[in-house]
């Protein structure tokens, strides 16, 4: 074999090695990204289901309407630094802002985030929206922007799915008669007692 032929074979071999290395690196990056995403989602779910965060969300749902309806409450929300009583408001807003940053930076997949959290994100943003606008007046305009970004994509997700998370085209489970009777009794109990719906 001539020197020229050996040179072509060597060049081709080098190309194959470089291509294989690049493919292996991409494969490894993809798996690293998947691992990071799983870790981020697990951490988010742990916080969302924690007792402390549940209490904080309940505080937001119960107290924000009262605070924004009262001049003294609005003044509290517009203070330079949140008072200790409003720690729950700060914690909830900052948590969803972090979640939004993770989605924006592709640490957590956008479609997956919407599938898991679109309802709670959008509902909480609407509860905290007046607070965000007040904070932007007194502090800086970037407060909770990643939370807002996440709420926008979650709203689109909710409108698209219209409340149904079940995969399209898949048959539904046949519902047992006993289960239907229990649900009917539950609905009657709630209507009769005047219980308000619980916060999800």
| Residues 124, 74 share a domain | yes
* Residue ranges making up the domain that contains 3: 1-38
| Residues 121, 22 share a domain | no
Length of the chain (residues): 200
| Cα–Cα distance measured from residue 154 to residue 114, given in angstroms and rounded to the nearest whole number | 6
Q: How many domains does the chain have?
A: 2
| Residues 90, 58 share a domain | yes
Q: Is residue 130 part of a domain?
A: yes
Helices (H), 50-86: 51-69, 71-77
Q: Is residue 173 part of a domain?
A: no
Residue 171: what pLDDT?
A: 87
Instruction: Locate 80 and state its tokens.
Output: 């330079």
Contacts of 176 (CB under 8 A, 6+ apart): none
Residue 24: what pLDDT?
A: 56
| Residues 15, 80 share a domain | no
| Cα–Cα distance measured from residue 184 to residue 179, given in angstroms and rounded to the nearest whole number | 9
Q: Are 143 and 135 in contact (CB under 8 A)?
A: yes
| Residues 123, 29 share a domain | no
pTM (two decimals) = 0.72
| Residues 106, 138 share a domain | yes
| Residues 73, 8 share a domain | no
| Residues 108, 26 share a domain | no
Q: Which segments in the chain show pLDDT lower than 50?
A: 31, 199-200
Residue 200: what pLDDT?
A: 45
| Residues 65, 17 share a domain | no
| Cα–Cα distance measured from residue 167 to residue 54, given in angstroms and rounded to the nearest whole number | 29
Q: Is residue 44 part of a domain?
A: no
| Residues 29, 72 share a domain | no
Residue 144: what pLDDT?
A: 97
In degrees to the nearest 10, what's the CA dihedral of 10, 16, 19, 23?
Answer: -150
Residue 199: what pLDDT?
A: 46
Residue 123: what pLDDT?
A: 97
């Amino acid at each position: 074999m001539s020197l020229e032929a050996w040179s072509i074979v060597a060049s081709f071999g080098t190309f194959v090695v470089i291509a294989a290395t690049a493919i292996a690196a991409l494969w490894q990056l993809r798996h690293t990204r998947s691992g990071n995403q799983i870790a981020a989602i697990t951490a988010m779910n742990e916080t969302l289901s924690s007792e402390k965060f549940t209490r904080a969300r309940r505080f937001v749902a119960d107290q924000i309407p009262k605070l924004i309806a009262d001049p003294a409450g609005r003044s509290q929300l517009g203070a330079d630094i949140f008072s200790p009583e409003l720690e729950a408001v700060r914690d909830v807003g900052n948590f969803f802002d972090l979640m939004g940053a993770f989605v924006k930076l592709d640490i957590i997949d956008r479609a997956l985030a919407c599938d898991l959290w679109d309802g709670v994100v959008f509902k909480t943003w609407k509860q905290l929206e007046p607070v965000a606008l007040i904070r932007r007046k007194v502090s800086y305009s970037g407060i909770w922007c990643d939370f807002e970004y996440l709420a926008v994509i979650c709203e689109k997700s909710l409108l698209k799915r219209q409340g149904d998370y079940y995969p399209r085209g898949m048959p539904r489970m046949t519902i047992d008669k006993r289960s239907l009777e229990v649900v009917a009794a539950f609905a009657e109990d709630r209507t009769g007692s005047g219980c308000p719906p619980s916060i999800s």
